[in-house]
């Protein structure tokens, strides 16, 4: 179990360096003028921006490693999480908590890959 956690951490670090653009967060374009309040706050806050990069990278890795049949559920959960994130608006504490909770769920999903049903 600990081995899988180390693998996920290494994959996130490597992918984070090759994933994002130099401006903004990995999962959306910070240069757009019509950003929602949560997106604007993430773009303006380095710690949140970094959390967004890690979350987007982790989501991409876990999605690719999951069986095809499980991917739709993960994508649905991600869409629901994005709606929840929007309710935080410009509240940095709320956004930080939302990212922490999502990363926990994605890490759990990674640890459960290839487990028998």
Q: Is the pLDDT of residue 117 over 80?
A: no
Contact indicator for 94, 37 with CB cutoff of 8 Å: no
Query: Can you tell me the mean pLDDT for 73-85?
Result: 97
Confidence tier at 9 by pLDDT (50, 70, 90): low
Residue 22: both structure tokens together: 């130099």
Rounded to an integer, what distance in angstroms lies between the CA atom of residue 37 and that of residue 52? 15
Report the b/e string of 88-101 with b at 16+ CB within 10 A: beeeeebbeebbee
pLDDT value of position 19: 47
pLDDT value of position 22: 47
Q: Which helix or strand (DSSP H or E) is residue 92 part of? A: helix 92-111
Contact indicator for 16, 57 with CB cutoff of 8 Å: yes
């Amino acid at each position: 179990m600990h081995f899988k956690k180390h693998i996920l951490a290494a994959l996130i670090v490597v992918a984070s360096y090759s994933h994002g653009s130099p401006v903004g967060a990995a999962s959306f374009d910070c240069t757009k003028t019509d950003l929602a309040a949560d997106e604007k706050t993430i773009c303006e806050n380095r710690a949140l921006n970094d959390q967004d990069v890690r979350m987007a990278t982790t989501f991409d890795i876990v999605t690719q490693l999951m069986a095809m049949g499980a991917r739709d559920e993960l994508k649905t959960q991600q869409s629901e999480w994005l709606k929840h994130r929007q309710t935080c608006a410009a509240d940095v504490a709320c956004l930080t908590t939302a990212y922490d909770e999502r990363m926990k769920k994605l890490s759990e999903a990674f640890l459960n890959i290839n487990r028998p049903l």
